[in-house]
Amino acid sequence: MAKSPYIRGELGEALDVMKQIKKALDPNNILNPGKMGFDDSIKDIYENFAFKPLIERPAEIQSFGQALDNEIMACIMCGFCRAGCPTYGETSLESINARGRVILAYHLLTGRLEPSKELAERFYKCTTCLNCNAVCPAGVKVADIIQAGRVRLVRAGYLPPVDQMLMASIERDGNPFGEAREKRTEIYPTEFKPKEKAPTLLYFGCVASYQDLNIVPSALKIMKEAHVDFTSLGSKEYCCGYIDFLVGVRKNSKVVSTRMSGFSKTWGSRKL
């Protein structure tokens, strides 16, 4: 869009033909407005650029905070983020791509959209893989925008059931896998007994304690070889909170939600 004023210089009279075709197919100019070059630069820029609703309806703005609002506004809608977005690759749906999610966040920002089950479907299918951050030419931190959207969805009662189960498991068992607290130390070698006090505390985390069972014995071996005086929390160790962070649960968030019944359990052709 920034280069639109120069499009006539590049295409000449062909631009008029293209505009006629566009007008025949899209008489109300609702498809990609502004992309066919600006005839009246000031008016067209104002009509088509993203800040118009923010200027015209400031009372409706639902800010995410200045830093994130700037991230949302920095998206130039180029669509490069389609390349490699696993959720777009699986669904071919723009609203399940990074750009689509930024647009949805933009409409949350302008106050045109309210949190809803449909919106939650779009935001929670993001894997937060960060591929979009790597390919975005504008350096937009898409995953941060999605996280902020999730926080808003959780506060409005739209945490998906599968994430509600994870939160319940963390609260009950201290881990997201539904494993018993006491099992956390089963991976400790018999010669290792956590001491009451030590200058260094080694935190293993849930994956190392319950799933990737090579990590704890290897870490203990390294600590021994390095002659570090350390201890661990044993069965008192608790989830680090990363999952809460990922799904948008924050302090004082209302976790249990009844507003997500019927949340889609399918993922393209796969079951979630």
Interface residues with ligand SF4 (CB under 6 A) are 75-81, 85-87, 98-99, 101-102, 126-132, 136, 138, 140, 142-143
Compute the least distance from the CB of residue 50 to ligand SF4, in Å: 11
Compute the least distance from the CB of residue 1 to ligand SF4, in Å: 12
Compute the least distance from the CB of residue 148 to ligand SF4, in Å: 13
| Cβ distance to ligand SF4 smaller for residue 188 or 263 | 263
| Cβ distance to ligand SF4 smaller for residue 132 or 220 | 132
| Cβ distance to ligand SF4 smaller for residue 101 or 152 | 101
Compute the least distance from the CB of residue 44 to ligand SF4, in Å: 21
Half-sphere exposure of residue 243, counting CA atoms within 13 Å on the CB side?
21
| Cβ distance to ligand SF4 smaller for residue 153 or 216 | 153
Compute the least distance from the CB of residue 87 to ligand SF4, in Å: 5
Compute the least distance from the CB of residue 123 to ligand SF4, in Å: 9
Q: From 157, 63, 60, select the one nearest 111 (Cα to Cα).
A: 60
Task: For strands 270-271 and 266-267, give the pairing.
Answer: antiparallel
| Cβ distance to ligand SF4 smaller for residue 1 or 216 | 1
| Cβ distance to ligand SF4 smaller for residue 62 or 128 | 128
CA 49 to chain centre: 24
Token couple for 40: 């009246």
The answer to whether the beta carbons of residues 133 and 141 sit under 8 Å apart is yes
Q: From 119, 118, 117, 157, select the one nearest 249 (Cα to Cα).
A: 157
| Cβ distance to ligand SF4 smaller for residue 136 or 148 | 136
Bridge partners, residue 201, by sequence: 231
Backbone angles phi, psi at 191, to 5 degrees: -75, -10
| Cβ distance to ligand SF4 smaller for residue 126 or 167 | 126
Compute the least distance from the CB of residue 224 to ligand SF4, in Å: 39
Task: Return the sign of the alpha-carbon dihedral for residues 53, 85, 115, 250.
Answer: negative
Task: For strands 200-201 and 230-231, give the pairing.
Answer: parallel
Is 9 exposed, middle or buried (CB count within 10 Å of its CB: 0-12, 13-18, 19+)? exposed
Compute the least distance from the CB of residue 136 to ligand SF4, in Å: 3
Task: List the Cα angle 239/262/269 in 5-degree steps.
Answer: 85
DSSP secondary structure of 55-96: HH-GGG-----HHHHHHHHH-----GGGTT-HHHHHH--GGG
